[in-house]
Amino acid sequence: MARAPRERRPGMITVYGYSSSGNCHKLRLLLGHLGRQPDRDFRWIEIDSPHGATRTPEFLSKNPNGKVPMIELDDGRVMVESNAILAWLADDTPDSRRRFFAGDAWQRAQTLSWMFFEQYSHEPYIAVARFICGWTPLDSPRRADLPRLRERGHQALAVMERHLAASEWFSSAGYGIADIALFGYTHCAGDGGIALDAYPAIRGWLERVRAQPGFVPMPPVAAENLALIAQSE
Residue ranges with strand state E in 67-180 = 70-72, 78-80
Higher pLDDT: 113 or 39? It is: 113
Work out the burial of residue 39: count CB atoms within 10 Å of its CB; fewer than 13 is exposed, 13-18 middle, 19 or more buried.
Answer: exposed
Tell how strand 78-80 and strand 13-17 pair up.
Answer: unpaired
pLDDT 10s digits, 166-197: 999 999 889 999 999 999 999 999 999 999 99
User: Where do the H-state alpha helices sit in 92-145?
Assistant: 105-117, 123-135
CA distances from 31 to 13, 16, 62, 64, 95 (A): 10, 14, 22, 25, 16
Structure confidence at residue 9 (pLDDT)? 52
For residue 2, pLDDT over 60 is answered with no
Judged by average pLDDT, the poorest of 13-22, 86-95, 171-180 is 86-95
At 108, the pLDDT band (50, 70, 90 cuts) reads very high
What is residue 11's predicted lDDT score, i.e. its pLDDT?
74
The pLDDT score that the predictor gives to residue 3 is: 44
Q: How far apart are CA 162 and CA 183, in angstroms?
A: 16
